[in-house]
Amino acid sequence: MTKKSGVFDVDFDGLLPIETKKKNKKKDIESRTIDNALEIVIRQMIASGYRKRTTDDYRRIVSNFEKAQGIKYLSEITMETIYNWLDKMNVANQTKLTRLKSLKSFLSKCFNNGWYETKFWASINVKVDKKIKQGTKPSDIDLLLSLLDLKTFVGLRDATAILTMYKTGIRINTLGQLEEKHIDFNEGVLKLDGDVLKNHKYLKLPLDNQLLHLYKVLIQQNNKVRNYYHEDNSFIFISYKGKSLNTKSTNNAISKQLTKYSKKYGLKNINAHAIRRAYAKNLLKKGANLALISKALGHSNLEVTTQYLDLDVDEVAENLRNYL
């Protein structure tokens, strides 16, 4: 078969440059209002799985900044307006820092959307003298557990909750959302899906025989309570009337019980966050490395984990002595 000359030959000198319309970022931020940018950013956050409490904080803080400075457009957000906003706040530096972080995070999302050319806000900071937050002493946890009456529903529930936080390090709001489906009795682990964790990532945490036994007893008691009050749920920690414990709140019934026990028995540092720190410290003392502790706590980075493990001067001296 003879190839027909010229039919498949292409006179080609290369692609012509494709003309693209360059976006004028300066013009964009001059015409884009802060309210418009905020609504877009919040929709993006919701689509990415951010919790409502987080988006509500963004809306409140950015709107407060906008109103306090009397500005309307993105172009009006400058280092000067940010510093002026901070200077006018009659609050502690730690509160200023928290609000600043939210504003900077919002601005970074604006940068990612192409509305700013530089992150001019990156160098703005608030100096805070960080106090070392102590973890609960193991001896105080032992004492509290010895004072609880495990033959009562509330005593059994609270003791199981305290041990769950101390032996797994989960947050108080995750504790309130635990269901029977999260406990694998055969494997001896908590299987936590992203819906109940702050970082939305799946996590498995080991359980010892003591906790597994307590869960079995508590679940049996829960069923009796729910049946009596005609409640239908599968939560591990419920109220004495069989209802959920305001599942996603950090100030649920368990948290309130810890405050009550702290006052009643004169125990210092008995709260959910301190117990979580005690869990981290306990892992460190047993030889766990920082990366493993960070993963167990569900932290987004190691910097947060190191704050959990801050040692006071006596602990530093004691630990350094081991290297002499």
pLDDT of 67 strictly over 60: yes
Identify whether residues 73 and 221 lie together within a single domain: no
Domain contains 8: no
Between 282 and 217, name the one with better pLDDT. 217
Identify whether residues 299 and 153 lie together within a single domain: yes
Q: Which long-range contacts (CB under 8 A, 24 or more apart) does 52-55 make?
A: none
Identify whether residues 258 and 166 lie together within a single domain: yes
Domain contains 127: no
Averaged pLDDT, 277-296 = 86
Identify whether residues 176 and 245 lie together within a single domain: yes
Identify whether residues 252 and 108 lie together within a single domain: no
Identify whether residues 86 and 160 lie together within a single domain: no
Supply the CATH number for residue 249's domain.
Answer: 1.10.443.10
Residues of the chain with pLDDT > 70: what percent? 82
Domain contains 19: no
Lowest mean pLDDT segment, chosen from 47-56, 100-109, 241-250: 241-250
pLDDT of 74 strictly over 60: yes
Residues 6+ apart with CB under 8 A from 272: 165, 171, 172, 175, 250, 254, 255, 258
pLDDT of 251 strictly over 80: no
Domain contains 147: yes
pLDDT of residue 323: 63
Supply the CATH number for residue 65's domain.
Answer: 1.10.150
Domain of 39?
25-112
Domain contains 17: no
- Total number of domains constituting the chain: 2
Domain contains 129: no
pLDDT of residue 132: 61
Averaged pLDDT, 71-98 = 92
Point out the domain boundary residue: 112, 127, 159: 112
Question: What is the Cα 192 distance to its own chain's centre?
Answer: 15
Identify whether residues 158 and 292 lie together within a single domain: yes
Cα 125 to Cα 101, 121, 181, distances in angstroms: 9, 9, 44
Between 129 and 14, name the one with better pLDDT. 129
Domain contains 126: no
Domain contains 43: yes
Mean pLDDT of the chain: 85
Q: DSSP per residue over 47-60, as a string?
A: HTT--HHHHHHHHH
Q: What is the pTM of this model?
A: 0.61
Residues of the chain with pLDDT > 90: what percent? 57
Q: Give the pLDDT band (50/70/90) at residue 287.
A: confident
pLDDT of 25 strictly over 60: no
